[in-house]
Structure formats: structure tokens, C-alpha cells
Structure 1
Amino acid sequence: MHQLSGLDATFLYAEVNNSPMHIAPLTIYDPSTTGTDVVRFKDILQTFANRLHRSPVFKRKLAMVPLNLDQPYWVEDENFDLEFHVRHIALPKPGDWRQLCILVARLHARPLDRARPLWEAYVIEGLDNVAGLPKGCFAMFLKIHHAAIDGASGVEIISAIHDLTPVPPPPREEAPPPMDRGPGNLEMLWRAYKANLRAPLQLARLVTQGIPAWRRVHAGVKAKKFRTLGEKERTRFNAAISPHRVFGAADFDLALVRQMKEAATGATVNDVILSIVGGALRLYLLDKQELPERSLVAGAPVNVRPQTDTGSAGNQVSMMSIALRTDITDPLARLQAVHDEAVGSKAYHQAVGARLMTDMTQSLPAELAALAVRAALGSGLMAGMKPIFNTIVTNVPGPQVPLYMGGAKVVRSYGLGPCADNLGLFHAVTSYNGQIAIAFQACRQMMPDPGFYEQCLYDAYKALQQAVGIQLQPKTRVKTKTKTKIKTKTGTRATTKARAKTQAKTKSRAKSGGKESGAPQAGTTPKAKPVPKPARSKTGTRSSAVRPKRTTSQ
């Protein structure tokens, strides 16, 4: 029996029909490393069954305190059913990237069943037409409620179901741990009574911590060590959200991102990623003619879990505010400015105190916190408030060595997080085995064209790498069909289509006495031929030099 912290419970209270509060890693696997090129669904079920003991999240469910007089408890599910939580589905043909994104967005928009352990895993087959992936790949989409884990503890859960070699070690034969008896209603009410007696003392302690923090912030602003970002600009992503979601992601080479950071004094990989997000938002909002004059601001979650508490689940995070400098056109100048903003934000964060936010949620009475959050969400007050952040950008470093599940190698790794009223766009940055990816999810009404925003991320990345001087073509989701090439008599190479066109022109010239159809007459100035527009790909990506037509669906 384990009681939720105040911050964990806040994610429960903030969950409403249009805003499920779970986070979800999306991993893609190549089964060719198994030796048989096949991973059966029952093998994946067995992998989960063998690893359930590695994390308490898998088998525990909620026990709510009557009248919300105290924070809920985690108790073990006596009727745990693994096959309810692990499910098997497939994409319809052709099975491309955009289809996968649509399916993941729909699954992510559904809330979890609170009567059971708060997680679900979907094994997704049929990814044969996703560019850059070998045939036979499959994906796993793992939804876990934010009340149970944060980004750091989520990485530990991913490690629990993966191996470092294609051949998994034999399962250890251990006696199952004793069933954790859940508290009855009377016991929970007695615990709530004692907790509420201590609440005034905890609140007084919080006030004594807050006064010195306010003084440190005031002194830091006066000394110009950092600046407060003031009132935030409102964008299309800062309003009431719908229950529908979109998803997309952009992949980059981690080594090249590390090379880019050297272009700005003292910059980090996280600064490069934030500047790319800022550049993408600038391109996207410019296209909508909605770019504010002042910079947009991102909320960046920070892990405040002590080193001695690395194995615990739950949430131990604080939040930093970092200006994305969407007001700067030059990508290199934006990178330097983002780094300067991040340095100031870290100083501000240290002045406030890293754990002040978590301590604050722990000190508030549970019934008061639940009532306040639900009243704000239910009345629309949250959507009408001035935004605290324009978007969330969370960076979750992953392992830099290959991982395997059932012998299949992980080849891609992405992350998804929750959207809420006034925060309709969420970015999750994940790194794995030399790769780094920026995944995003948004309200579908706020972002009806996720393929275009995905291309904005690639364009912002390409603009930065060109400014830095790195010659690199960014990855794309487009699968191009190569035309059959033939060798002409002159030794040059041309496509069959071009050859047929040349032959047609020759016949036409012969019939017209040597004059080509449409050729300019003497004494006239030839008109310039219009430049043909490039064809739009099925995946919604585009060339960085040409703006595509906008779509209104996923």
C-alpha cells in the first residue's frame, strides 16, 4: 500500500473527458535480429509476464479515499488480467507513417480505465510502408497514467521490459511477493483525519520556505542575473482543447546535433532542440499569419528526484520557463539567445527552489486541491486564463545502447504527453542509440495539418545546420519512386519519360516542316515557361523551398 503524493494526485484531479492525463512511449522494433524474423504476440505477452515484478506500476490500481479527504492510495489488483492490458492490432494497407500517426493519436486520446492498473500496451503490426524502416517492423505504444510515473521513472519502466542483447536472460524463479492488502474505508478516513491535523503545520512550513525564495528572486532580478518573462502571448494553442489529437515526429542524428551546439558559446543539446522547436513554431505561425511580436515561452519539466531515490515511481518534477525566441529570424542568433534564456531560467529556478512546487502540492488539502482543479476545468476558467506557457518541451534522455524486446531490436523511440486547456501543444524529446527525436501531439482543431508542422521541424533543423555550416540532408518520411534510367547514344543518362517526350517533339517537328509546336516566331520575344509546382507527397511532407497546400485533416 502506497499513498500518492500531492503532485501525483493533481494529475488525477486534472483529468477530464477532453484531457486524458497519461504519457506514452512509442517504440518501433526490427524483428530481423531474432534470427527467425518473427516475434509472436504470445512471446511479447510472456515477456511482460516475466517482468511484472520489476515495477509496481504494472499490477497496482487506485483506491480513492471517501469524499477526497486525503490523497488516493495504490493497492495491488487482485484480479489482474495481463491480456486486458496488452493488445494486438495492425495498420490497414499500405501501412505508412501517417497512418501510424493517426492510429497513435486516436489511442492516445482515450482515457485509461481507473478500475484497473493505469496502463495499456498496444502491439501494432503492418508498418511495411514507413520510409526508413525495414520490412516486418512492428511498434509498441505503451500508455501509463501520469499519476503513476514521470519522464524519468518512465525510462526505468521501459528498461524493465527490454534487454541489452537479442537473447534475453532466462527468467529468475522467484516466489511472488505477498499481496498488498488495501486499506478499508475506515482506515483511510482515520489516516485522512491525522493528515489533515498536520496540514496547518505543513502550510506554515511552506510559507517559511516561500518568503526566502521570493527574496532571492527579487535580488536576482535586481542584479540582472535573470529576468521574469512577464505576461505570455496567446496563440492558437492557448485555448480550450477538443478531445481529438494529432501526432507527428521528426528524427535527427544526435552526433550532428551535438556538433551544432558548438556554434553557440556554452550551448547544450537541449538548447539546440529548443531553438529548433522555436524555429518550427515561427514557421508554422508565420504561415497562419499568427506569429506574435514577442517570443513564445516553453515550459520545461525538470527532474528533482534525489540520487538516492532513482528507483521510485511517481512524479518528482519542477518546471522551468524558457523563451523560445520565436521573435528572432536568424537560426544561429536564435540558438545563442535560447542558451542565454536557459541560463537565466536555471538561475531563476535555483532561486525559487527546485522542490518548492512539489512541496506546495503536498501541503494543500486533497479535497481542496481536487475541488479547485475541477472547478477551474469544468467552468472553462483554465482556458480563459492568461497562458503560463505556450507549449511544453520535455527532454527525456534515453539509453545510448541498443535495446531488445523478445529478440527484436528497438530502431525508433518517441514520446507522447498530455494536452490540456490552454496547453494544446506538447513536445516530447527522446534520445536513443545515437538518435534524437522531437515528437509532438496537439489538439486536432488547433493543428489540423500535423504533416506540415512535422516538415516545419525539419526545415528549422535544416536552417540551423546550414547556418552552422554542416552539410546534411535531414531525414524525411517521403518514399520516392525511382524512375528506370536508360543510357542514350551520347552517353548521358535520361529517364524513359524524358526519352519518350524527345521522340514526340521530333515527330512533331518533322510534320510541321522543322518548326516545333509552340515555338516562338521571328521578331517575337519567347515567353518564360511557368515553373511546375512539386507534387505533394502522401505523407504531408514538403520541400523546404516550396510551401505546400494546406490540408484540413490528419
Structure 2
Amino acid sequence: MTRTRTPMTAVDRAWLRMESQESPMMIGAVLIFDEALDLTRFRQVLEERFLRFRRFRQIVEHRGDKTYWRDDPTFDLDNHLHVVALPGDAGQDALQDLASDLNSTPLSPSRPLWQVHYIENYQGGSALIARIHHCIADGISLVRVLLALTDNKPHRHLHTVPATPRYDESRWERLGRKARELKHSAGAGIEQLRHFGHNVWKKPTYPLELMRTGGEVGLECLKLGLTPSDPPTLLKGDLGGRKQVAWANLPLKDVKTTARALKGTVNDVLMTAATGAIHQYLTDQQETPPDCGIRVAVPFNLRPLQQPIETLGNQFGLVLVPLPVDVDCPRMRFRQVQDHMNRLKRSWQAQVTYSLLDLFGRGPDILERRALRLLSRKASAVLTNVPGPRRPVYLAGARLSTPMFWVPQTGGIGIGMSIFSYADRVLFGIIVDKKLAVDPQRVMDAFETSFYDLAEVAGTPGTYPQVERRAVERRKASSF
């Protein structure tokens, strides 16, 4: 084996094998800019900051029952960066349609698994639509990689990017590398034993606490296995593979004001707004929300946020979060969501699901698919919440005005919802399988209305005149 090929981890392999015609395993992003991007500068940024990660120059190679990352000998940036234009004075609807079409189209396995489309002359500025396969890295890592392409100021000088060195690994170098890996593993094991002995000496009850933790993990596995399937609703059904996307936004300061008034977190407020949106949408479609509520699968980051992204890969678990969509009162809905989130933060569910993904990635493909079908029945959607920069950022000199991201759905789940905070706004996006007949724009409208209803019970309705006006207009329209 040469240095041009490296084994794929079991967890990354699990996400690769989740790909199906109904669910392309891609993380999608739409980035909208106030002005046109300078393509020369943008290409240089990609060369300098994006392609420094070797994964973006590699293709997937299968050899027997093993999977590898192999350097693409014919790699060319032009195969991954495409320039397109929307007709006339196209607006957000046209951009959403293009993003929907691209997110329905799988990436070519014969090339590195990513693509970027540059949209010219979009509403006086420009836009980017990026798609990256989930097997390269998890959503939080990829969002951080994309944001690492940006600067805090608009002005930045170009400079020459050094060529990426490439060479073959000799037999002796390979043996030396294996010896170093073995030494590192042995050293880590000895360090763990030393750490265990120190803890026992310092605290004699440590072994009992360790056993109790093991018992909690085992109980979490049992609870996950015994969790019943989510009830049938409009959100579940057969999938067709064609996707539809939409997005909306709220002022971040208003969300923070509501969170303080309710003595909760921004995340509690946004999860409650999403819950209310589903409640309202089901009600508007003449469907009674299930008495037991529904669950959403929420990615839980296991990589320290302060840790720089030096290597890619998937380091997260999934937690099943109950959403009380059956509750009419926004305040009661908020309290239940807050209680569920606090309990899940203290659980081992994320670590358990990460370990299961590692196990699935090592086993046969048929076992993984059956397990995924079983787990996907326990949730109706995937929902992710990622914090973004607090100040506006610039890419190749152009100010980023609106960033939006979507995560792929696993198994039989056909809806993905994403919450992303950026500068002074919170952006809420949704991706829906077209066969479910769920109107993504109506869900976006319901999200804004749900937030206004929660703000009203928080005692600060006058803070949100624009949201209130839109909500009143929608309620009048829906009454006809």
C-alpha cells in the first residue's frame, strides 16, 4: 500500500453504505452573498484552505470487504466547481428549486465526493450551492470547514499556494509507520491502566462508579432497542428520492429575549418553535397530532468545539428527542421540550449510537440496512442545530449574508430540519422528500408563527412587529 491510499474508518463506512436512491447521503449548503464573488480569488481560497484536507482530493475504493480513501490521480478543481446562472431576475423560489434539484442528485462515485455550484447574478449578488458526502465528515465539522474559508474582513491579498507534495511510501517506511502505531496503541493502553490505578488510589469507590456507568450505558442500549416506532403521520411514508428545500429566518436578539423571559436557552426556544411548526402544520392539514408526540433524531457532537479541525471524519452520535406536538399551549410545550433536552444531555445515548454506527460499519451491509430501518422507525425527522459566527464574515472579499445547511436523512426518514445562527439572525431550513407531499414553505411559515406565539406567552409580543404582522396575515389567509 502507498501513501496515496488509507483505510476508511468503520463509522465513515457506515455513513457511506447508508446511501440509497431515496436518500443521497449529502450535506447540502446554500451561501448567499451581497455581491458577486471574484472567481479567481474563490478558486485560490479553495486551493489554499479547502483542498488542504486530503479527503477532498480522494475517491472511495472498495477492495473485497474493505474500503479505502485513494488519491484521485486525475483530480481537477474544474470537475467540482461549476458556474451556472438563474433566468432573469430570479428570486429565492428559483434558488430553492435549484438547490432542491441538486440535493436530489447523488454525487459521482468516480470522483471525490463533493461539488460546488456558483450562481451568477443572484439578486444583485451571488450564491453558492455546496454538496459534500456525509462519509467525508459530520455536519458540524463540514460547517466549520466551510466557514474556515471565510475572513472577518473583506480585503485579502492573493498569494501563491504551494503544490501538495505526493510520494510513495517504501516498505521500510511502511514498517516504521506500523511500528509507531503499535507503540502508540500500547502506550495509550498503559496510560489508561495508570490512570485507572491512580483513580482507585485516590478514590476507592472508583471501580463501583465505573460499573455504574457501564450499567447506565447498558440500560441506554436497552431503552433504545425497546423504544416503540413513531406513530404514523403526514411526516412519514414511502420515499421517492426527489427533494424540496426551503428556509426562513428570525432576529437572533428576539430569540434571546424570549429565552431570557422563559428562563431557558436559545436552543430550547428554537426546538419549541420547531415543535410548534409541526403542530400547526399537522393541524392545518386536518390531521390530529398524535397524543404521544413524535421524536426527531438530533446529532450530538462528540468532538470538542474548541479543537481545531485537523482531520475530518464523523465524530457524533444521535439522540432521539421527543417533541410534544400534541400540546396546544406554547408555554407548556416549551417546558416539556426543555425537560426532554436536559435529561438527554445527561444520558449516554449519543455515545451508544456512535458505537452502534462503528459496529454497523464493521459488519455486513445487510445487517446495517436492517438496523437502520429499525432505528429510522423510531423518529419522524432529523433536526440539527449548529451555532455559527456572531459577526458577518467574507468569502473571497464578498460579504456572506445568508448561510443555510441541510443534513441527510437516514433509513426511512424523509424530512431534515436545520437551525443555524449567524450574525444577528437564526436561519431555519427544511429538506423534504417530495413523495411525502409535505409543503416545505408552509412549514417555514408555521415556524415563524410558532415562534411569535411563544414570544407572546413570554410577555414580550411588542418586540416582534414584523413577525406578528406576517403571522396575522397567514392566519387570515388560512381561514378562507
Using structure 2 for the length normalisation, give the TM-score.
0.81
Out of 244, 247, 258, the residue aligned to residue 245 of structure 2 is 247
Could you list the runs of 5+ residues in structure 1 that have no partner in the other structure?
32-37, 129-135, 188-209, 221-227, 479-540
Could you list the runs of 5+ residues in structure 2 that have no partner in the other structure?
176-209, 221-225
Pair 1:451-2:455 in alignment: no
**Hey, which of these two has a bigger chunk of helix by percent?**
2
Q: Is the 8 A contact 2:27 2:407 kept in 1?
A: yes
Pair 1:272-2:262 in alignment: no
Partners of 2:262 and 2:428 in 1: CA distance:
21
Q: Give the structure 2 partner of residue 216 of structure 1.
A: 216
Change in Cα spacing, 1:259 to 1:40, as seen in structure 2 (3 Å) is same
Q: Give the structure 2 partner of residue 292 of structure 1.
A: 290
Pair 1:411-2:401 in alignment: yes
Change in Cα spacing, 1:167 to 1:115, as seen in structure 2 (3 Å) is same
Partners of 2:479 and 2:14 in 1: CA distance:
41
Q: What is the deviation of 1:57?
A: 3.0
Structure 1 counterpart SS, 2:122: coil
Structure 2 counterpart SS, 1:279: helix
Partners of 1:292 and 1:284 in 2: CA distance:
13
Out of 448, 469, 473, the residue aligned to residue 465 of structure 2 is 473
Query: How many residues are treated as equivalent by the alignment?
Result: 433
What code does the residue aligned with 1:216 have? E
What code does the residue aligned with 1:461 have? F
Q: Is the 8 A contact 2:420 2:427 kept in 1?
A: yes
Change in Cα spacing, 1:433 to 1:392, as seen in structure 2 (3 Å) is same
Partners of 1:549 and 1:125 in 2: CA distance:
40
Change in Cα spacing, 1:275 to 1:365, as seen in structure 2 (3 Å) is closer
Q: Give the structure 2 partner of residue 428 of structure 1.
A: 418
Out of 69, 85, 97, the residue aligned to residue 80 of structure 2 is 85
Cα RMSD, aligned residues only = 3.2
Which structure exhibits the higher relative contact order, with contacts defined as CA atoms closer than 8 Å and separated by 6 or more residues? 2
Partners of 1:78 and 1:240 in 2: CA distance:
40
Partners of 1:397 and 1:248 in 2: CA distance:
19
Q: Is the 8 A contact 2:238 2:436 kept in 1?
A: no
Structure 2 counterpart SS, 1:355: helix
Q: Is the 8 A contact 1:54 1:160 kept in 2?
A: no
Q: Is the 8 A contact 1:6 1:358 kept in 2?
A: no
Structure 2 counterpart SS, 1:293: coil
Q: Give the structure 2 partner of residue 95 of structure 1.
A: 90
Change in Cα spacing, 1:255 to 1:172, as seen in structure 2 (3 Å) is farther
What code does the residue aligned with 1:297 have? R
Partners of 1:429 and 1:416 in 2: CA distance:
9
Pair 1:355-2:339 in alignment: no
**Percent of pairs with identical residues:** 25
Structure 2 counterpart SS, 1:462: helix
Q: Give the structure 1 partner of residue 46 of structure 2.
A: 48
Structure 1 counterpart SS, 2:60: strand
Partners of 2:230 and 2:108 in 1: CA distance:
36
Per-residue CA distance 1:117-136 (angstroms, 9 max, x = gap):
110001113432xxxxxxx1
Pair 1:167-2:155 in alignment: yes
Structure 2 counterpart SS, 1:107: helix
Q: Give the structure 1 partner of residue 70 of structure 2.
A: 75
Q: Is the 8 A contact 1:50 1:171 kept in 2?
A: no
Structure 2 counterpart SS, 1:104: helix
Pair 1:390-2:377 in alignment: no
Q: Give the structure 1 partner of residue 108 of structure 2.
A: 113
Per-residue CA distance 1:447-504 (angstroms, 9 max, x = gap):
34222122111111121122223321346999xxxxxxxxxxxxxxxxxxxxxxxxxx
Please give the residue correspondences for 1:119-134 in structure 2 after superposition, counting only pairs within 5 Å: 119-128=114-123
Q: What is the deviation of 1:385?
A: 7.7
Rg: which structure is higher?
Answer: 1
Change in Cα spacing, 1:51 to 1:296, as seen in structure 2 (3 Å) is same
What code does the residue aligned with 1:171 have? H
Change in Cα spacing, 1:229 to 1:164, as seen in structure 2 (3 Å) is same
Pair 1:332-2:327 in alignment: no
Q: Is the 8 A contact 1:318 1:358 kept in 2?
A: yes
Q: Is the 8 A contact 1:88 1:124 kept in 2?
A: yes
Q: What is the deviation of 1:77?
A: 1.3
What code does the residue aligned with 1:401 have? R
